[in-house]
Structure 1
Amino acid sequence: MSDFIEWGALGQVLVAGVLVGAGIPALFALGLRLLAGTTADATPVADPGEAPAPGAATATPRPTPLRLAGAIACLVVVVGAVATGLFVVVSGGH
């Protein structure tokens, strides 16, 4: 045991940092991915061998209700984590 380092506390800070530092951005990315429609369901062009014209509008399907609910849940968790972090910082961190 070291007199200067509390290894248990250091481990807790490391785990919390990894979870918050990687977990919150991952949830945000997952929420955005769930909101995006799948390209497999997109409206096909007139000729499958022909590329769409530049500037042509392509239809992107809406996400299914299950994907929309998952996206909303992910983004609510992210907003809650950001709000909690702001609250802790503004209140002085105690």
Structure 2
Amino acid sequence: MINWEALIYVAIAGIVLGAGLPTLYAIGTKMLTPQTTDSGQSVPPSAGRKAVAYLCFAICIVAIIAGVFFLAAGGHS
């Protein structure tokens, strides 16, 4: 018998962790990329863009550490 509730939880976790964390990392990387003006000059990222990037990276790091602790504690048992 299929436990549909557990299947839904696993699917949601797979989508959030499998697509969400790499997306956050990509957003953080994009925020740190220097912008190019129409004249071809490179403009360094502003303080706001750096703050968003570091927040994205922090969320990724916290999720990775939480996953390691979860697995080290024995998983879902």
* Structure showing greater Rg: 1
Gaps of 5+ in 2: none
Question: Which SS does the other structure have where 1:5 is aligned?
Answer: coil
Question: Quick check: which one's strand share is greater?
Answer: 2
Gaps of 5+ in 1: 44-59
Question: How far 1:62 sits from its partner (Å)?
Answer: 1.7
Question: Quick check: which one's helix share is greater?
Answer: 2
- Distance (Å, rounded) in 2 between the aligned partners of 1:61 and 1:90: 44
After superposition, the C-alpha distances for 1:2-53 in whole angstroms (9 at most, x for unaligned) are: xx1011221111011111100000000000000111122752xxxxxxxxxx
With structure 2 as the length reference, what TM-score do the two structures score?
A: 0.86
With structure 1 as the length reference, what TM-score do the two structures score?
A: 0.72
- Distance (Å, rounded) in 2 between the aligned partners of 1:91 and 1:6: 24
Percent identity, aligned pairs only, is 37
